[in-house]
Amino acid sequence: MAMRLIDGGAFTMAAGGYYPEEGVPRRVRVDAFLIDETPVTNRQFAEFVAETGHVTLAELPPEAADYPGADPTLLHAGSSLFVPTPSPVPLHDPFQWWRFALGTDWRHPHGPDSGIEGLGDHPVVHIAYVDAEAYASWAGKRLPSEAEWEYAARGGVDGTIYPWGNELEPDGHMLANYWKGPFPFAHDADDIHERTSAVGSFPPNGFGLYDMIGNVWEWTSDWFAQPMIPDRACCVPHNPRGGSEEASREPNDPGAAFGRKVLKGGSHLCAESYCRRYRPAARYPQTIDSSTSHIGFRCARDA
């Protein structure tokens, strides 16, 4: 896969005023690095699997010891699948539109009876953190840090809400694959992508990178932590990293045995009415055992 060299520099992480986990705007600096032009596709992931025999986490039954009290009928291979609702539902309950679907994995992205024929150029999904790491290692790469990812997503434009400016749809044009319409049951007529879109379906950002916003969430290598309030009298943090695995765990989560990594970029399920995370500053903590129909990844490499 083609990669782009991103020159190092300082920029403002976060935006303020959206979600608490983003923290306050703060200056940070990153060294130069390379990053994939697009998310890893089904075709590319299939090449990796054919060469290595890798079996993704979604294709393996969960260990009962990792999920105390879990319904035994769910301790089978599968993944979290988005299922649109037939009508409006309260948006505080994501279980209205998420299902743990047995037999769902990267080869069967929309359920056990689906396949990836015709989706070779779409981002691979139902990828847990260990799967993304395995691919990156095979490719001679690594996963980007959160700061690297956000710097790359901004495309050289600092301080704006979106990589292209402060308006979501300049001149009425969608510039990324997000949900347009009443979530989670209907799309507007001009939103032609009900699920993922082929990589490169929308214009690149200023660094020549595609799909940094929307389409699929992307794993980063950082353990989730609440950002520290910057000491403005001190220095600009250089190549900042996340917290510890232990501190990243959420005790009240069903997957409390697992640490959480930072996801970036939002997905095709982000909407103005729900999850406005199709922004470079947005971030989300995801347990490393998780795979879903809207999580993929791209790789990076030291310059």
pLDDT of amino acid 280: 96
Cis peptide before 20 (omega within 30 of 0): no
pLDDT given at position 197:
97
pTM of the model: 0.95
pLDDT given at position 192: 85
| Amino acid 235: pLDDT | 78
Phi and psi torsions of 82, nearest 5°? -75, 130
Q: What is the pLDDT of residues 171-190, one digit of tens each?
A: 999 999 999 999 999 999 88
pLDDT greater than 80 at residue 228:
no
Residues 6+ apart with CB under 8 A from 249: 256, 257, 258, 259, 260
pLDDT(221) > 80: yes
Distance (Å, rounded) from C-alpha 67 to C-alpha 79? 15
Rounded distance between C-alpha atoms, residue 295 and residue 129, angstroms: 10
- Using pLDDT thresholds of 50, 70 and 90, give the confidence band for residue 14: confident
Q: List the beta bridge partners of residue 20.
A: none
User: Where does 1-303 sit in CATH, by number?
Assistant: 3.90.1580.10
In this predicted structure, the answer to whether residue 48 has a pLDDT above a threshold of 80 is yes
Beginning with the edge strand found earlier in the chain, give each strand of the sheet holding 3-6 in spatial order.
3-6, 33-36, 300-302
> Does residue 93 carry a pLDDT above 70?
yes
Dist CA 132 CA 138 (whole Å):
10
Among residues 125, 193, 164, 141, the alpha carbon closest in space to that of 37 is found at 141
User: What is the phi/psi pair of residue 131, to 5°?
Assistant: -70, -40
CB 164 within 8 A of CB 205: yes
Q: What is the gyration radius of the CA atoms in the chain, in angstroms?
A: 19
Contact in structure between 222 and 261 (CB atoms under 8 Å): yes
Phi-psi region of 103 (alpha: psi -120 to 50; beta: other; left: phi over 0): left
Residue 232 predicted with pLDDT over 70: no
Mean pLDDT score of the chain? 94
Q: Give the whole-number percent of the chain exceeding pLDDT 90.
A: 82
Q: What is the pLDDT of residues 244-292, one digit of tens each?
A: 999 999 888 777 789 999 999 999 999 999 999 999 999 999 999 999 9
Answer whether residue 62 shows pLDDT above 70.
Answer: yes
Q: How far apart are the first and last CA of the chain?
A: 16
pLDDT tens figures, 18-36: 899 998 888 999 999 999 9
pLDDT at position 247 is 92
- How far is the C-alpha of 203 from the C-alpha of 94, rounded, in Å? 31
Q: Is the Cβ–Cβ distance between 3 and 144 less than 8 Å?
A: no
Share of the chain above pLDDT 70, in %: 98
Residue type (1 letter), 6? I
In the predicted structure, residue 233 carries a pLDDT above the cut 70: no
Could you identify the residue written with the tokens 């005023």? Answer: 17
Residues ≥6 apart with Cβ < 8 Å to 258: 66, 249, 287, 288, 289
